[in-house]
Amino acid sequence: MDSSGRFVARHVATLPKSGIRDFFAIVSKMKDAVSLGIGEPDFVTPYHIREAAISSLEKGRTSYTDNRGTQQFREEISRYVAKNYGPEYDPETEILGTIGVSEALDILLRSTLNPGDKVLYHEPCYVSYAPSVTLCHGEAIPIRTVAADQFALDPAALRAAWQPGCKLLILNFPTNPTGGTADRSKLEAIAKFAIEKDLLVASDEIYSELTFEGDHVSIASLPGMRERTVFLHGFSKAFAMTGFRIGYACGPAAVIDGMLKVHQYGIMCAPIMSQEAAVEALRNGRDSMLHMRDKYRERRDFIVRRFNELGLKCHLPRGAFYAFPDITSTGMDSMTFAQKLLEQQKVAMVPGTAFGAAGAGFCRASFSTSYEKIHEAGERIARFLDTIPRR
């Protein structure tokens, strides 16, 4: 019998598994399943960006780089962020290249949290926020967002959730899994509160280019926020570069310096070929990105209309590539709905509760997939719903 479990740290042993893993295990064994569970672009990285990585290898550029990333990479990030988001960051002291936003957020938490520090985050949200806080011996405090509000963070809810000991606020707009965004007035109220309570803000803006309604505003661009915000971004979503594992953090020098310490001991540097591909994306990737965004928007319109036709009430996600229909009219909870749908009609949607308790009553359906698959999933969901007495 394997008793090696005794070696696992308590805070890891008690950490729940991601709700997505079980699902993945079942779906990956099913031959003709239609998956709306994919949390990444269905596009291959645009050719000119792949070419930059190939060219980097051909030139024999296979070494470590500066811990922060190459000078060129940081300079391009600085230009791109200033142009598209507003704030200007010094490539020498305020920018750090990372292994995606995942690493950036992890090292931000590890370099800023003392044991017991509290971290506010809005739910439903990306699966790793709360566990990452727990792994840093911090306490994650969810703030519920709701469909009636299109899952934007209500500043009043933020104020209500705050408690003494809160040090950090994680924001993610547009939001995975809800497609929620935050307009300028909401962000201004959030910023005001962050200043009042002296919160550091981690703003994960990985989906920002994929904003379909209105203009994306970064909280880092608001008055008084640059000095208390770490802007986290990457290439996975906008440029379809998930496998490159490349991202970055921009923020005040002392915070970036702390993150750099954790990064240099834990990671050393992001892969050089990914950095070079990312430079090409920053310089010349805009047209490819806009093309993909248009495709996502068209698919969004179809899938949202389809869910509503089927009687699964679905708000219009304003960004990212996920629909988040309300499945409560079926009388089932999210997990039961997702399991039965998978068993009976072989359609995979991720139960909303995988994204936190606030996701109860919803399921996430990625529209980063072909029309054929979305259409087929719609037909199968219709057949599934026909078998269920509806409320």
Partner 1 sequence: MNSVLKLILDGEALDTAQIGKILGLGAEAVDRELAALRQQGVLLGMRPVLNPSYESEHRVRAVIEIKIRTEGVGGFDGIAERISSFEQVESCFLMSGGYDLLVVVTADNLYKVAGFVHERLARIDGVQGTSTHFFLRAYKKDGFIVNAEASRRDQPSVSP
Residues in touch with partner 1 (CB under 8 A): 18, 20, 23-24, 27-28, 33, 35, 37-40, 42, 44, 126-128, 176, 302, 305-306, 348, 350, 354, 370-372, 374-375, 378
Task: Write the CA distances from 130 to 51, 121, 169, integer angstroms.
Answer: 37, 8, 12
* 159 burial type by CB count under 10 A (0-12 exposed, 13-18 middle, 19+ buried): middle
Helix (H, G, I), strand (E, B) or coil at 324: coil
Q: How far is the CB of 378 from partner 1 (least distance, A)?
A: 7
Q: Which is nearer to partner 1, 35 or 65 (CB)?
A: 35
Q: Which is nearer to partner 1, 28 or 71 (CB)?
A: 28
Q: How far is the CB of 371 from partner 1 (least distance, A)?
A: 5
Q: Which is nearer to partner 1, 194 or 277 (CB)?
A: 277
Q: How far is the CB of 39 from partner 1 (least distance, A)?
A: 4
DSSP code for 352: G
Q: Give the residue from 14, 390, 319, 335 showing the smallest Cα distance to 176.
A: 319
Extended strands (E) in 200-351: 200-204, 229-234, 247-250, 322-323, 347-348, 350-351
Beta-bridge partner residues of 142? 121
Q: Which is nearer to partner 1, 78 or 288 (CB)?
A: 288
Q: How far is the CB of 49 from partner 1 (least distance, A)?
A: 16
Q: Which is nearer to partner 1, 136 or 365 (CB)?
A: 365
Cα dihedral 127, 129, 134, 137 in deg (nearest 10):
160
Separation between Cα atoms, residue 131 and residue 152, nearest integer Å: 22
Q: How far is the CB of 18 from partner 1 (least distance, A)?
A: 7
Helix (H, G, I), strand (E, B) or coil at 93: coil
Q: Which is nearer to partner 1, 36 or 220 (CB)?
A: 36
Q: How far is the CB of 338 from partner 1 (least distance, A)?
A: 10
Q: Give the residue from 194, 250, 184, 251 showing the smallest Cα distance to 218.
A: 184
